[in-house]
Each structure stands twice: as C-alpha cells, then as structure tokens.
Amino acid sequence: MTVTRSALTDTDIQMLLKGATADERALAAHKLCRRIDQQGLTPEEREAAQSILRIMAADAAELVRRALAVTLRASPLVPRDVAMALARDVETVSLPILSFSPAFTDDDLAEIVRIGGAVRQVAVAKRPQLSQKVTAAVAEHGVEQAVEAACANDNAVFSERALQRVIERFAKSEAVLAAVAYRNVLPLSVSERLVDMVSDQVLDHLVSRHALTPETALQIAMGARERATIDLVDQAGRTADVQAFVAHVGRNGRLTASLLLRALAHGHMAFFEWGMAELAGVPHHRTWLMIHDAGPLGLRAIYERAGLPSRLYPAFRAGVDTYHSLEQDGGARDQARFQEHMLQRFLTQPQPAMREDIDYLLDKMDRLSRKPAKPPQSRPRKAGVA
C-alpha cells in the first residue's frame, strides 16, 4: 500500500494492525487519518487509504472507530460504505460522522432520519447543509428536538409543504413554532398561519421580519381573517407572487366577493384580476381583457362567470371605472391618492356593499388621510399571452 509508506512509518502501520491495546491502535489510527487527510493522493493511494479505513471501521475497539469518525468526520476520503457502517455504530462513533460527512446521499440521510432514532435525527438536523428531501423526512418523522434544530438551521432548505407539516405536527410546541417563525424566509401561507399560534415575542418578530403589520397580526389572531387578508396583501404585494397568494386564499375558501371588493377598493388591481381568473376558471390574460374591455359587457361576463352576487356588480363596475379614470387624468399617481379616489367613488354608489364593508373602508380612508404618500403600485399595463 503506497499510501501507508508515505504517510506513516512501518512502526505506525504495525501498531495500527497489531497494537496490543486499544489505546495504541487508536493513536496509530488518529495519526494515519490526519496524515492521509492532509496529503494529495493519487487514485491508487486513495484506494489503499480507503482499504485501511475499512480496517479501522471494523476494529473491535470503540476507541479506534471513534478516532476514525472524529478525525475524518468532514473528509471526502471516507467511502460511503464506511460512513454508513459508522452511522450505525454506537453514538460516540456515529454522531461525528453523521453531523458532517459528505459521504452520505440525501436518500441515506432521509433513511437515517426515518429509522435512526432521536439522537441521530438531531445530528442530521444540524448538518451544514440539508436538502428539501432530508428536511421533508425530518418534518414527517423527526422528534420535536430534531425538527426544532432543522427549522433553526439557516442552511436547511424546507418546502412550503414540509413547513406546513411541521406546524401540523407541533402546533403545541412553542420551541418548534418559534424556530419556524425565526427562519430567514417564510412562504406567505406559513407566516399567515403562524400569527395566531405563537407567543407575543415571536409575534413581534413576525411583524417586523416578515412584512406583517401589528394590526394584521392582531386581526388574524382575533379571527377577523377576511379583513386581515387584504392588509396582508398590502404588505405582501412588494415581494409576493400574486398568483400564488390568490391560489392559496382560494384553496382556503376565502376568495369571496367581499374580499375582492376590498382589494379593488384599495387599488390592488392585480389581486382583483387574478382573483376573478381563479373564481371564473379563465386564464389570466383573457380575464384581463374582459375586465379592462372598453365596452360594458366584458366585466359583466367575467363577473357572472365567477359566480359573484349581482347586487355588488355596480360597486365592482365603479371600482374598475375609477381605476381607468385615474390612469388617464394626468394627476399625481401616488398610491394614497389612488386609493382615496377609489374609496370615495365606491362609497358614493347608489348600491354599495354590505354595511360592514362600508365601515371597514371608511376606517381605511381615515387611516389613509393620516399616512404619508407612498410610491404608486407597479403593475403591467396589459396582460401577458398564455
């Protein structure tokens, strides 16, 4: 074995293979592991080194196997079969290699999470990188401590579905919910769901970090979900995918006529367009053409197809007309002015919405009058082609 002669003396080799005590063999193992990890190896030398690692991994003395696992815990030299053998070993041997070794595939790590027990799950959860496949296994099979560790791991990539599963399984765990809330990025549906589940301290973080106003958080927590949703749209509109958000609201049965009317009255035309497309089952580009049709029939046709109540149609018509008139009047285009004009025209219609909608919109108008002007909402002038 070429590598042994360049890395160790013959005495070291003999001590590794035939040392009288575990301490002697462990010392030789540590020495060998350090040297081969620091040297550039040819393919032949690498193969020889890995053969020696297999001998170490099969040593009867735990101390020898631990020397291997600790010294080469993050080394690419450890072959997969050796890493897997060490992962099944006692915890003093398995944990260092599970925590860092690049030898494992995502399938390996997911399987270890499923069958490896709580301590090994935590070790996997704290690894420097975790893929969605591994975090999905943690979300489904991990104990509370492992799930908390994975959610607190900034380099663990979670899908929206996995985070929702975490919330379902650990709805009563303040530690897990806080770890989710403190992640750098959260899907809108997850942050919305967390608001009425977490402590005041974590709620403060959600408000400041994930673009939820304190009012929104309070409204959601108190159960005023529909009204809070439009405030959530106000905040999320800067970065969120409007199409995805509308789909989420629709899946939860909250894409109502009242919500769409409030969105329109606040100037959220993109939200209104996507909402109408969702309810009507019509592609967005066609919905756009019907809403913004210069004639009187397009909006009514898509409105009726969406199944919205006829008594509210005049208010929707007023909202769309106001939107077009403000686009053409040449005045200032700041969002506050836009919303104020929209609300004024909406509220002066002969057939307004329900009284609770009017009260809500009046409250919003009052708050608008006390706010500084904001930049106008950016949106495309015409629909894309599907």
Residue 375 pLDDT exceeds 60: no
Whole-number mean pLDDT of the chain? 77
Residue 244 pLDDT exceeds 90: no
Distance CA 369, CA 364 (A): 9
Same domain for 191 and 271: no
Same domain for 304 and 191: no
Among candidate residues 239, 267, 283, the one where a domain is terminated: 239
Same domain for 288 and 349: yes
The answer as to whether 166 is a domain residue is no
The answer as to whether 105 is a domain residue is no
Lowest mean pLDDT among 28-42, 64-78, 139-153, 338-352: 338-352
Same domain for 287 and 232: no
Same domain for 253 and 367: yes
Same domain for 204 and 251: no
The answer as to whether 135 is a domain residue is no
Residue 218 pLDDT exceeds 80: no
Question: What is the reported pLDDT for 22?
Answer: 77
> Are 263 and 232 contacting, i.e. CB atoms less than 8 angstroms apart?
no
- Scanning the structure block, which residue is given the tokens 């041997």? 93
The answer as to whether 293 is a domain residue is yes
The answer as to whether 353 is a domain residue is yes
326-340 mean pLDDT = 63
- pLDDT-derived band at 170 (thresholds 50, 70, 90) equals very high
Lowest mean pLDDT among 64-68, 177-181, 334-338: 334-338
Among candidate residues 200, 221, 239, the one where a domain is terminated: 239
Same domain for 260 and 378: yes
Residue 292 pLDDT exceeds 60: yes
Give the number of other CB atoms < 10 A from CB of residue 368: 17
- The count of domains in the chain is 2
29-51 mean pLDDT = 77
Question: What is the reported pLDDT for 366?
Answer: 52
Distance CA 288, CA 280 (A): 12
> Are 225 and 192 contacting, i.e. CB atoms less than 8 angstroms apart?
no
Identify the top-confidence range among 88-92, 263-267, 366-370: 88-92
The answer as to whether 189 is a domain residue is yes
What is the length of the chain? 386
> Are 59 and 65 contacting, i.e. CB atoms less than 8 angstroms apart?
yes
Identify the helix (H) or strand (E) that includes residue 95. Answer: helix 91-100
Question: What is the reported pLDDT for 384?
Answer: 42
Same domain for 367 and 349: yes
The answer as to whether 35 is a domain residue is no
Residue 217 pLDDT exceeds 90: no
Domain of residue 192, residue span: 185-239
Same domain for 324 and 247: yes
More confident residue, 218 or 242: 242
How does pLDDT run across 45-59, given as a tens digit for each residue?
778 778 888 888 888
Question: What is the reported pLDDT for 196?
Answer: 67
Between the alpha carbon of residue 271 and those of residues 137, 259, 276, 299, 377, the distances in Å are: 35, 10, 9, 15, 12
Same domain for 318 and 374: yes
155-178 mean pLDDT = 93
Which ranges of 329-379 would DSSP assign to H, the alpha helix? Answer: 335-347, 355-369
Backbone angles phi, psi at 382, to 5 degrees: -145, 160
How does pLDDT run across 65-82, given as a tens digit for each residue?
998 899 889 988 899 999
How does pLDDT run across 78-137, given as a tens digit for each residue?
999 999 999 999 999 999 999 999 999 999 999 999 998 999 999 999 999 999 999 999
3-class SS of residue 156: strand
Same domain for 317 and 352: yes
Give the number of other CB atoms < 10 A from CB of residue 314: 15
Question: What is the reported pLDDT for 236?
Answer: 45
Question: What is the reported pLDDT for 351?
Answer: 55
The answer as to whether 257 is a domain residue is yes
Question: 25-31, long-range: CB within 8 Å, 24+ apart, which pairs?
Answer: 25/59, 25/61, 25/63, 25/64, 26/61, 26/63, 26/64, 26/66, 26/67, 27/67, 29/56, 29/59, 29/64, 29/67, 29/68, 29/71, 30/67, 30/71
Same domain for 376 and 270: yes
How does pLDDT run across 302-322, given as a tens digit for each residue?
999 999 888 788 888 888 888
Residue 15 pLDDT exceeds 90: no
Among candidate residues 201, 220, 239, the one where a domain is terminated: 239
